[in-house]
Amino acid sequence: MKKATLIVVALAALFLSNCKKNTTTDAGTPVQDEKAALADEASSPKTLLMLQNVKSLGNQDLKRLAYQLLSTHEKYFVWIDNMKTATKYNTAQQALITELTNYITPELLGSKPTDAVNAFRDQWLAKAKLVFSFDQIRAIAYQLYPDKDHVVVNDANLTTNTFGGGVDDGGSLPNCQCYTGYYYSYSCGWSQVCPVDKYHGDCQNPTTNGCGFAWTSPCDNVCYLPGSDPSTQSAQ
User: Minimal CA–CA distance to 77: which of 30, 18, 25, 118?
Assistant: 18
Q: For the chain, what are the domain ranges?
A: 2-17+35-148
Beta strand pairing call for 207-211 and 217-219: antiparallel
User: Minimal CA–CA distance to 20: which of 64, 61, 76, 60?
Assistant: 76
Q: Is the pLDDT of residue 74 over 90?
A: yes
**Average pLDDT for residues 2-18, to the nearest whole number?**
53
- Residues 198-212, buried b or exposed e (16+ Cβ, 10 A)? ebeeebbbbbebbbb
Give the pLDDT confidence score for residue 32 in this predicted structure. 47
Instruction: Report pLDDT digits (tens) over 101-115.
Output: 999 999 999 988 899
**Average pLDDT for residues 54-63, to the nearest whole number?**
90
Confirm whether pTM is higher than 0.95: no
Q: 215 or 209: whose pLDDT is higher? A: 215
Instruction: Please enumerate, as own/partner, the contacts of 30-38 that have beta carbons within 8 Å and a separation of 24 or more.
Output: 38/73, 38/76, 38/106
3-state secondary structure of 191: coil
Q: What is the CA radius of gyration of the chain?
A: 18
Instruction: Report pLDDT digits (tens) over 12-53.
Output: 555 555 554 444 444 443 544 787 888 889 999 999 999 999
Largest Cα–Cα distance in the chain?
61
